[in-house]
């Protein structure tokens, strides 16, 4: 049966801010306490969705989470009405309050891992939300992510949802950012490549020394079991710990795959030559596999992390050629820009590039690929997706006016003391659940 890949982009939430919460993520740390512009952020994301839709791709929308997370503040001992809780938390621990206001669920490449039905033994599409337990602000996400995934993919005939992995670092799971799939087409069984940062149980494997490895081998193995992947459909490879220490906190900051193409830096993986050999041997497709390995003397790790070249989306167009959907930062970096031009002229399926201004997300370490969750679906499965979360020209117009009505154009540290921010945010999200036909997914709608 015909199948397509749908990109579900995270809609940036109304409290998007820069709190410097992600140790190991260079952009997040360097923009700590800068002013953010939530309205510009959501509109930049919507522009990318619209452009993908106009290119003929199936586009979906992934709703933001309710912020601030009042329940976690209560769990941490703050009492009283919502506005009293905000006031007390702001005085006692402003950074904690900002973490509870973080819009980090916008990076849906970290929402979960998805295996398409052609890869699974029971022929269903499998979903597991990521526990994101390496960072406090992100550990708040999996419960709502699961609720959203169930509201979006609500048909047991086709979709199987799993509980996120145990909330403990040994099973650190950061979702699809560390998961790539190589295949001839989305209708064909693919090779699911799980890239882990370190092993929790096997101390013989190397670890980064400075920054944390967020994805554990044991988490990746558990996902492969839960998703009932066939043995020939799975491969576990280790990220190069040296580049984690240089700011490559997820694999999608150093590699991206699409169809029969793997674009990666030459320092992306541990024992890279052997790892690439393993990938070639395990590859299941009939089309030739293109591994585009970017050398350090053309693009340094610093340039890769600064420009987010590898956090581009690689998309397949209707004529079967591919386009690189890159952040504008790649255009500004001469070495990266030159490399992209060279790649486009070389003999491989990537023939075009388009640059997008995603500065608001980039300043927190999230490029085009971070903003989207890929879900490959056949025709029947696509028809079973909640139509409210499928992107269209009309939906775009509705969402732009919704954002213009509800979002602020500046947020700074002091604004988090303002209880009106909670009221505005919850009102916006309450309206959004009707726009996207999600039902009462948020805890504040269930009280």
Ligand X SMILES: NCCC[C@H](NC(=O)CCC(=O)O)C(=O)O
What are the Cα distances from residue 309, in Å, to 144, 147, 212, 263, 316? 30, 32, 22, 10, 18
> In terms of CB distance, is 172 or 349 closer to ligand X?
172
Task: Take residue 194 and report the two structure tokens written for it.
Answer: 């799980």
How near is the Cβ of 109 to ligand X at its closest, in Å?
5
> Is 370 noted as a catalytic residue in this protein?
yes
Q: Is 364 in the site for ligand X (CB under 6 A)?
A: yes
Q: Residue 374, annotated ligand binder? A: no
> In terms of CB distance, is 3 or 325 closer to ligand X?
325
Catalytic residue among 250, 266, 381, 406: 250
Q: Is 327 in the site for ligand X (CB under 6 A)?
A: no
Q: How far apart, in whole angstroms, are the C-alpha atoms of residue 40 and residue 131?
A: 28
Instruction: Pick the piece of the chain touching ligand X (CB under 6 A) from 54-62, 334-342, 362-370, 396-404.
Output: 362-370
* 12 to 51: interface string for ligand X, x by CB under 6 A: -----xxxxxx--x--x-----------------------
Q: Residue 258, annotated ligand binder? A: no
Q: Is 211 in the site for ligand X (CB under 6 A)?
A: no
Residue found under tokens 């949802």: 161
How near is the Cβ of 97 to ligand X at its closest, in Å?
12
DSSP state letter for 364 = T
> Is 162 noted as a catalytic residue in this protein?
no
Q: Is 301 in the site for ligand X (CB under 6 A)?
A: no
Cis previous bond, 122, omega within 30: no
Q: Is 411 in the site for ligand X (CB under 6 A)?
A: no
Q: Residue 19, annotated ligand binder? A: yes
Q: How far apart, in whole angstroms, are the C-alpha atoms of residue 14 and residue 399?
A: 13
What are the Cα distances from residue 150, in Å, to 123, 154, 237? 18, 5, 30
Pairing of strands 313-316, 322-327: antiparallel
Residue found under tokens 């101390």: 203
How much helix, strand and coil, in percent to the nearest 5, is found in the chain?
40, 20, 40
Q: How far apart, in whole angstroms, are the C-alpha atoms of residue 284 and residue 172?
A: 28
> In terms of CB distance, is 110 or 360 closer to ligand X?
110
Q: Is 102 in the site for ligand X (CB under 6 A)?
A: yes
Identify how many contiguous H helices and E strands the chain contains and give both numbers.
17, 15
Q: Residue 28, annotated ligand binder? A: yes
Q: Is 104 in the site for ligand X (CB under 6 A)?
A: yes
Q: Which residues of 358-372 are buried (b: 16+ CB within 10 A; e: fewer)?
A: bebbbbbbbbbbbbb
Residue found under tokens 């602000």: 137
Phi and psi for 62 in degrees, rounded to 5? -110, 120
Which 226-285 positions form the footprint of ligand X (CB under 6 A)?
Answer: 250
Q: Is 138 in the site for ligand X (CB under 6 A)?
A: yes
> In terms of CB distance, is 124 or 181 closer to ligand X?
181
> In terms of CB distance, is 28 or 316 closer to ligand X?
28
Q: Residue 20, annotated ligand binder? A: yes
Q: Residue 21, annotated ligand binder? A: yes
Q: Residue 22, annotated ligand binder? A: yes
For the beta sheet containing 191-196, the strands, ordered from the edge strand earlier in sequence to the opposite edge, are 179-182, 191-196, 234-238
Question: What is the number of other CB atoms lying within 10 angstroms of the CB of residue 424?
Answer: 16
Q: Is 110 in the site for ligand X (CB under 6 A)?
A: yes
Q: Is 313 in the site for ligand X (CB under 6 A)?
A: no
Residue found under tokens 């199987």: 160
> In terms of CB distance, is 18 or 283 closer to ligand X?
18
> In terms of CB distance, is 22 or 180 closer to ligand X?
22
Catalytic residue among 5, 141, 174, 381: 174
> Is 250 noted as a catalytic residue in this protein?
yes
- Decide: 165 and 171 in contact? Cβ < 8 Å: yes
Q: Is 62 in the site for ligand X (CB under 6 A)?
A: no
Q: Which residues bind ligand X (CB under 6 A)?
A: 17-22, 25, 28, 102, 104, 107, 109-110, 138, 177, 250, 364-366, 370
Annotated binding site for substrate: 19-28, 110, 137-138, 214, 252, 364
- Give the residue numbers marked as catalytic: 174, 250, 370
């Amino acid at each position: 049966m015909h199948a397509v890949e749908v990109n579900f982009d995270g809609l940036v939430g109304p409290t998007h801010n820069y709190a410097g919460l992600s140790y190991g993520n260079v952009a997040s740390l360097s923009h700590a306490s800068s002013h953010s512009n939530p309205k510009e952020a959501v509109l930049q994301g919507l522009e990318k969705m619209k452009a993908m839709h106009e290119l003929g791709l199936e586009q979906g929308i992934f709703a933001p989470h309710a912020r601030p997370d009042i329940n976690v503040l209560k769990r941490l001992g703050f009492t009283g009405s919502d506005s009293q809780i905000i006031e007390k938390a702001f005085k006692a621990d402003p950074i904690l309050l900002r973490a509870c206001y973080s819009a980090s669920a916008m990076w849906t490449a970290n929402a979960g891992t998805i295996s398409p039905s052609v890869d699974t033994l029971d022929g269903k599409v499998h979903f597991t939300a990521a526990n994101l337990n390496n960072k406090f602000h992100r550990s708040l996400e999996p419960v709502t992510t699961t609720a959203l995934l169930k509201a979006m993919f609500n048909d047991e005939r086709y979709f199987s949802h799993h509980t996120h992995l145990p909330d403990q670092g040994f099973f650190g799971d950061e979702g699809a950012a560390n998961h790539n799939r190589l295949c001839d087409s989305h209708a064909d069984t693919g090779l699911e490549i799980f890239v882990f940062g370190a092993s929790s149980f096997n101390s013989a494997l190397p670890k980064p020394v400075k920054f944390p490895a967020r994805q554990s081998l044991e988490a990746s193995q558990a996902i492969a079991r839960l998703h009932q992947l066939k043995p020939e459909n799975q491969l576990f490879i280790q990220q190069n710990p040296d580049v984690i220490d240089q700011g490559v906190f997820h694999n999608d900051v150093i590699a991206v795959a699409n169809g029969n193409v793997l674009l990666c830096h030459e320092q992306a993986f541990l024992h890279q030559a052997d790892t690439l050999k393993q990938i070639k041997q395990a590859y299941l497709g009939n089309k030739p596999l293109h591994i585009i390995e970017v050398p350090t003397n053309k693009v340094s790790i610093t340039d890769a992390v600064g420009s987010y070249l590898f956090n581009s989306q690689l998309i397949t167009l209707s004529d079967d050629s591919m386009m690189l959907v890159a952040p504008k930062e790649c255009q500004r970096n001469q070495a990266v820009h030159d490399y992209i031009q060279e790649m486009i002229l070389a003999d491989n399926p990537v023939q075009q590039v388009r640059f997008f201004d995603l500065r608001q997300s980039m300043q927190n370490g999230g490029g085009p690929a971070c903003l989207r969750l890929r879900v490959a679906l056949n025709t029947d499965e696509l028809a079973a997706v909640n139509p409210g979360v499928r992107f269209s020209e009309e939906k775009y117009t509705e969402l732009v006016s919704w954002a213009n009505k509800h979002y602020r154009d500046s947020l700074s540290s002091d604004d988090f003391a303002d209880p009106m921010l909670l009221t505005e945010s919850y009102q916006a999200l309450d309206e959004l659940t009707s726009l996207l036909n999600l039902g009462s997914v948020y805890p504040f709608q269930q009280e």
